[in-house]
Chains A and B, each alone.
Chain A
Amino acid sequence: MQQLLNGLFIGSIYALFAVGFALVFGILDRLNLAHPAVFAASAFIGIELVTVGGLPFWAALPAVAVVGALLGLIVERVAFRPLKGRADAHFAGLISSIAVAGMLIALLQWRYGAETRRFPADTFPATRFDVLGAQVTLLQVVIVAVCVTLVVGLTWLVARSRLGRGMRAVAENPTAARVLGVDVDRVTATTFAISAALGAVAGALFAMNVNSAQLGMGSAIELKGLAVIVVGGMGSLPGALVGGLLLGVAEVFAVQYLGSAWRDLIAFALLFGILLLRPQGLFGGRRARQV
C-alpha cells in the first residue's frame, strides 16, 4: 500500500509533466523538447521565490506557473513560430527547441551555478497521515491534489471551453480555423503557455517532493514524459494521466522489490509491454494525434 501510494505521488508529477508535452504534441503535432528545460528552470525559480522572495509555497506555485507560461510563450516565439511555414517544420522545430532548452539550461547555470538547490526545510509542514496502514505526508496529498486538479481542469478546458474548441479546430485543420476567424498564432501561443505552465508546476512539485533541484532534472524526466505520451496514446490527455501514474507505480515497485538499478528497466519494459498489446497506446485508437 505504501509503495502504491508513493508510486501514485511520483506518477502524478510525471502525468502533469507529460500532459503539458501531450497538449502541444496533440494540437500542433510538434514535439517541444524545451519542455524539460522549463520543468528544471521552474524548480530553481520556485526555490528562489521561496528562499529569496520570501513567498510561502502556496503563493510560489502559481507564480511559478506564470513564469512557466511566459517561458512557454518565449519558446513558441523563438523556436517554433519562425519555422512554421517550412515543409520540415516538425523536425526543424524539434531541433530548435533542443537549442532553446540548451540556452535555458545555460542561463540557469549562470544564475544558480551547478550545485543542487533545495527548498528551505520549513517550506512545507511535515504533517503525516496514516492511510490504510501507509504513511502519507501532507505534501504528497497536495501534490496529487494539484496534479489531478490541473489535469482534470485542462481536460475540461480542451473538451468544453471556447479556447479548447479553438485548440481542437487548430489541431484538426489550421486553415479551416483561420477561415472561421480563429487567430491561429494566438491559440498556438496560448497552448504553449498552458503547456509550459503545467510543466513548470510539475517542476516545482518534483523539486519539493525529492527536496532537490538540479540542472539535469529535466533531462531525467524527458524520456519518461515521451514514453508516457506514447503509451497513453499520442496526444491523448487522459492517456498521459494514466500513463504517468502507471510509470510512477512501476518505478516504485521495481525499486522496492528488485533494487534501484532495475527501476528504469522494469518501468520501460512495462511500457513496451503495453505497446505490444496495444500499439496505438492506452487511449490512442481512432482519435490518436488529437487533443
Chain B
Amino acid sequence: MTQPALEVEHLSVRYGRVEAVRDVSFSVAEGSLVTLVGANGAGKSTIINAVSGIVRPHGGRVRFRGTDITRTPAHKLVARGLVQVPEGRQILATLTVAENLAMGGWHRGRAAARAIDEMYQRFGVLGERRDLPAGTLSGGEQQMLAIARALVAEPVLLLLDEPSMGLAPLVVNEVFDVVAQIREAGTTVVLVEQNARRALRAADHGYVLRTGEVVRSGPAAELLADDDVVQAYLGTA
C-alpha cells in the first residue's frame, strides 16, 4: 500500500480554553480528493490551518508524505509542496494580479515565471487584468486568482478552504470544475466546504465534522447515499 499524502492523528486545537478541534484523525491518499464537511464552527478551517502550520496544535500529530510536520512553520511547508488556498480568498488587494501570482511563486524564483504564464492561459481574465490591483476583481475572479496563485507554488497537496463561499451559483460551478481539473492533473486535494453535497459529489472520501469532532466518515458516495447522514448533518438543501 502506498504511503498517504497526509495523515492526521488525534489532532486537537485550542483557542484559549475553547477546544475547537478534538481528537480528529483522518488520512488522505496520494492523488485523491478528500473533503471535510460540516456546519459553520465545526472546526474544518481550524484543521486546515493546523495542517498548514498557521495554527499550532495542542495535541496530536500531522504527517505529510511520512514526515512529521506538526510543528513545522507554514513557510517551510509551502516550499515542500503543501499549499493552502485560505478561507475568504485572502488575495492581496493592493498588489496587482501579476504580483499576487508572483507571491505564489515566492519559493520558486525564476521557475515560477512559466507557471504564471500557464495561469494566464488557463484563467484568461487574470491575463487581461494582470496589471490591475487584485482588489478590483470580482469575487469569483478573486477566487480564481487565489487558486491560480496556489497552483504557481506547484502543490503536491492542495488545501482548499471554502472555495465556493459567497459566490454566485454559476461561479461555484466554475470553481468546482477547476478543483476537478486540479485533481485530474494528479494533485492531492483536501477540500473544506459548507456546501457539503457539492463537495461530497466531487470527493473520493468524506469526513463529517460537528463541534470539533469527526462524527461520520467513509467513501463520499456512501455518505451521500446514507439517509441518516443526509438528514442529521447535510440538511435538506
* B75 touches which of A168, A173, A182 (Cβ 8 Å): A182
Q: Give A175 to B73 CA distance when docked, in angstroms.
A: 12
Residue of A nearest to B53 (CB): A178
Closest Cβ of chain B to A16, distance in Å, is: 25
Give B156 Cβ to nearest chain A Cβ, in Å. Answer: 14
B90 touches A165 (CB 8 A): no
- Tell whether B6 is near chain A: CB-to-CB under 8 Å: no
Residues of A close to B106: CB separation below 8 A:
162, 166, 180-182
B95 near A168: Cβ-Cβ < 8 Å: yes
B107 within 8 A of A: yes
User: How many B residues, CB 8 Å from partner?
Assistant: 26
Of the listed stretches B62-70, B97-105, B171-179, B192-200, chain A binds: B97-105
The answer to whether the Cβ of A42 comes within 8 Å of any Cβ in the partner chain is no
A26 to chain B, nearest CB (A): 12
Residues A172 and B153 in contact, CB atoms below 8 Å apart: no
- B153 and A165 within 8 A (CB): no
Once A and B bind, how many residue pairs between them come within 8 Å at the CB atom?
A: 64
Assembled-state Cα–Cα distance A172/B53 (Å): 20
Picked from A173, A179, A183, the residue with its CB within 8 Å of the CB of B84 is A179
Chain A residues with Cβ under 8 A from B77's Cβ? 181
Check B103–A175 contact: CB distance below 8 A. Answer: no
Query: Which residues of B from 50 to 100 have beta carbons under 8 Å from A?
Result: 52-54, 73-75, 77-79, 83-84, 86, 90-95, 99
Instruction: Tell me if B90 and A176 are in contact (CB < 8 A).
Output: yes
Chain A residues in 8 Å Cβ range of B84: 179
Return the contact of A178 from the options B75, B79, B91, B153 (Cβ within 8 A): B75
CB distance from A9 to the nearest CB of B (A): 34
Nearest A residue (CB) for B106: A181
Main secondary structure of the interface of A (DSSP, over half): helix
Which one, B53, B93, B94, B103, contacts A180 given CB within 8 A?
A: B103
Instruction: List, in ascending order, chain A residues with CB within 8 A of B102's CB.
Output: 162, 165
**Counting CB contacts under 8 A, is B205 at the interface?**
no
Q: A166-B106, A175-B86, A175-B90 are in contact. Are A180 and B95 (CB under 8 A)?
A: no
B149 at the interface (CB under 8 A from A): yes
Q: How far is the CA of A181 from the CA of B79 in the complex (A)?
A: 7
User: Could you tell me the distance between the alpha carbons of A183 and B72 in the complex, rounded to whole angstroms?
Assistant: 12
Given contacts A178-B74, A180-B104, A181-B153, contact A172 B54 (CB under 8 A): no
Pairwise interchain contact A179-B90, C-beta atoms closer than 8 A: yes
Write out the residue numbers on chain B whose beta carbons fall within 8 Å of the beta carbon of A287: 94
CB-contacts of A246-286 with B (<8 A): none
Given known contacts A179-B84, A183-B75, A172 and B103 CB-to-CB distance under 8 angstroms: no
Render B20-58 as a binary contact track against A, CB cut-off 8 A, 1 for contact. 000000000000000000000000000000001110000
> In the complex the two chains form, what is the Cα distance from A279 to B84 in whole Å?
40
Q: Are A182 and B54 in contact (CB under 8 A)?
A: no
CB-CB < 8 A to B103: which residues of A?
Answer: 165-166, 169, 177, 180, 182
Number of interface residues of A (CB under 8 A): 19
Task: Please give me the residue from chain B that is nearest to A184 by CB atom.
Answer: B75
B54–A175 touching, CB < 8 Å: yes
A229 to B134: give the CA distance in the assembly, Å.
27
A170: shortest Cβ distance to chain B, in Å? Answer: 10
Residue of A nearest to B152 (CB): A180
A97 CB–B CB distance under 8 Å = no
> Distance (Å) between the CB of B227 and the closest chain A CB?
38
Contact of B90 with A173 in the complex, beta carbons under 8 Å: yes
Assuming the contacts A175-B86, A180-B104, A181-B74, asked whether A290 and B54 have C-beta atoms less than 8 A apart, the reply is no
- Chain B proximity mask over A142-186: 1 for CB below 8 Å, otherwise 0: 000000000000000000001001101100110111111111100
- Give the distance in Å from the alpha carbon of A173 to the alpha carbon of B94 in the complex: 10
Tell me how far the C-beta of A160 lies from the nearest C-beta in chain B, rounded to whole angstroms. 10
CA distance A178 to B54 in the complex (A): 7
- In the assembled complex, the CB of B124 is this many whole angstroms from the nearest CB of chain A, namely 23
Nearest CB in chain B: distance from A262 CB, A? 41
A-B contact pairs, 24 of them (CB 8 A): A162-B102, A165-B102, A166-B103, A166-B106, A168-B92, A168-B95, A169-B92, A169-B95, A172-B92, A172-B95, A173-B90, A175-B54, A176-B86, A177-B103, A178-B73, A178-B75, A179-B54, A179-B78, A179-B90, A180-B106, A181-B75, A181-B106, A183-B75, A184-B75
Residues of B within 8 A of A (CB): 52-54, 73-75, 77-79, 83-84, 86, 90-95, 99, 102-104, 106-107, 149, 153
Kindly list 15 other residue pairs between chains A and B, CB separation below 8 angstroms, not including A178-B53, A182-B75.
Answer: A165-B102, A168-B92, A168-B99, A173-B90, A176-B91, A178-B75, A179-B90, A180-B153, A181-B74, A181-B78, A181-B83, A181-B106, A181-B107, A182-B103, A182-B106
